[in-house]
Structure 1
Amino acid sequence: MKRRLREIIEATGQLPALPATTARLLALMDDQSAGAAQVLEVIGTDPALTANLLKLCNSAYYGLRREVGSVHEALVMLGNRTVVQLAFATSLGDVLRGPLAGYRLERDALWRHSLAVAVGAAHLAGVAGDRSLRERAFTAGLVHDIGKLVLNGPLKAKLQQLPQTGSYDALRQGERDLLGFDHAEAGQALAESWNFPAALADVIGRHHDVAAPRAGRGRADDALVTAVVVANLGASRAGFGAGSVCDDQSWQDALATLGIAPADAEAALARLPGDVGALAAAMDGRP
């Protein structure tokens, strides 16, 4: 199966390469010792990235009291890791914003879903009071569905055989029936080919597995998987789905299995429309 996944990744002409700057930002996120000088070196050489980053920093999502006018100011006010995380989100936008005909998704549909999962996962991780987990949850949520970039091409030819709507389980089963694997598996393979950190690639592969954190308890990234699994389901419930829906029973079962308090999950969902709207507006250059 892994060999076939690699063959599809290599043969899919529409699959975008990971931009060089994005790859460098990813390396910075995985480097706990990276300082402001290294961040400035990567971001400061890309005027478009810098401009878009500053739009995000000045968005309603962060609600800063004064305008951020430079990357250096952003580093001082938000911190190195938050700035790198935002720059990564900005640079990855072009990769995720295109239409995916194989999934019947219009332009920006996957991008808005990914933003919603990123924001929701960060909110859920924030409940634990762990800033590092919150930052990693945002990144993991943003990239959780990259496997759809891999399977989009092969699914176009089989579009009529793929369920038009339904649960995430129905979508994944349809992918497996048609191709032999699903987008979570494909996403993990793509993440590995892009040299993502192993923990991040693992979360991508497990982002639909409600039982995964319990089954793998003791693993360092279990809390991260939990945040992304619940945020992914919650995003669909909040109107930011990507072709699938989450019914009430699946939602309640997931919260119970993962040990997430319903109040915490609902609080995270309530913030999604405003937060996603603010981030999307900043990235689109709207006030």
Structure 2
Amino acid sequence: MNPKASILETLREYISNQKNFPVLHPDAATIQDEITKKDPELSRVKQLIIKDPTLTGEILKVANSSYYKGLGEVSTIKEAALRLGQDELFNIVIQVILRKNFSSNTPMIKERQDKLWAHCVATAFATLWLCRHLKLSDLIPKAFIAGLLHDIGKLCLLSAIEQFMTAEKDNAKLTPDLVEKILVNLHEKQGFALLSAWHLPDIYCRIARDHHIDEYEESDTLLVVVRLADMVCHKMDANNPQEDLTFIMGSRETDILGIKETSIALLEIAMEDAGLAKPPS
């Protein structure tokens, strides 16, 4: 038997078993359910946050980070809500909840989680920036979360891979290349399955499933924006000064959205200013 095939077969069993899906803490799930409603109640969200001192501390830490620089220091959830606004506060809450849910002590897994998390946050920022730039007011409240969740399948797969490595021990001969192939080939399906299991709105599930497919619904504007944001972030992740905007400007997404090259250049500058990307070396 091919050892690699055997490993993949066993790993697929771990992945396909929803019992191995990451599970949100009940309090975090309640907050997430409220935030993703069509008309969430800010007062209820604040009450739920305050009941969890750890979550409160993490939210204030993020609210005072360089990502939100210039907005002034905040020391209470009430101040955070007043200074950041409801949508921005909700974005931070979701960011903190998900980050706490995907944390590993296994070096190979942690390294990938950290890089992936940075990409997800950057894509969330880029999606929100583009929606604001294009004046897509109806999509702005959903934009950050949509970008943040687009690669959630990879984070879920990394959790399954870690469980597999722990259970199989010496039999889990997973090379970095094999792990990367698993993430690339399975993350859309896994992301859709995870977000569906978490009962998140269909729009986020679709984006997790369809952000790489060739044939997608052009009228799904938020999906198109996330796909473009993802492209820009991958370009900036590469940090290659020789790479220009030709590929992005020739994409179907820029054509659908009517985006000009100057807009993409402004987005890259905004991401560098927010500390979400390094300027080309």
Match of 2:47 in 1: 41
**Cα distance, 1:148 vs structure 2:** 1.5
**Cα distance, 1:159 vs structure 2:** 4.2
Paired residues in the alignment total 252
Q: 1:122 aligns with which of 125, 128, 153?
A: 128
TM-aligned CA distance change 1:256 to 1:224, over 3 Å: closer
TM-aligned CA distance change 1:123 to 1:213, over 3 Å: farther
Provide the C-alpha distance between the structure 2 equivalents of 1:223 and 1:42, rounded to a whole number of angstroms: 32
Match of 1:199 in 2: 203
Match of 2:93 in 1: 87
Residue ranges of structure 2 left out of the alignment (5+ in a row): 1-11, 166-171
Provide the C-alpha distance between the structure 1 equivalents of 2:174 and 2:211, rounded to a whole number of angstroms: 24
What is the identity, as a one-letter code, of the residue corresponding to 1:270? Answer: I
Match of 1:252 in 2: 249
Residues 1:29 and 2:35 are matched in the alignment:
yes
TM-aligned CA distance change 1:197 to 1:142, over 3 Å: same
SS at match of 1:238: helix
Please report the TM-score for the alignment, with normalisation by the length of structure 1. Answer: 0.73
Structure 1 moving runs of 4+ over 6 Å: 99-104
Cα RMSD of the aligned pairs, angstroms, is 3.5
TM-aligned CA distance change 1:100 to 1:123, over 3 Å: farther
Larger Rg: 2
SS at match of 2:112: coil
Match of 1:272 in 2: 271
Contact 1:116–1:240, Cα closer than 8 Å, also in 2: no
Provide the C-alpha distance between the structure 1 equivalents of 2:105 and 2:246, rounded to a whole number of angstroms: 30
Alignment of structure 1 residues 31-110 onto 2, 5 Å:
31-64=37-70, 66-98=72-104, 105-110=111-116
Provide the C-alpha distance between the structure 2 equivalents of 1:233 and 1:123, rounded to a whole number of angstroms: 14
Match of 2:8 in 1: none
Match of 1:231 in 2: 229
**Cα distance, 1:202 vs structure 2:** 0.8
Contact 1:117–1:228, Cα closer than 8 Å, also in 2: yes
Provide the C-alpha distance between the structure 2 equivalents of 1:113 and 1:195, rounded to a whole number of angstroms: 24
**Cα distance, 1:151 vs structure 2:** 3.5
What is the identity, as a one-letter code, of the residue corresponding to 2:261? Answer: P
What is the identity, as a one-letter code, of the residue corresponding to 1:198? Answer: D
Provide the C-alpha distance between the structure 1 equivalents of 2:115 and 2:105, rounded to a whole number of angstroms: 7
Match of 2:15 in 1: 8
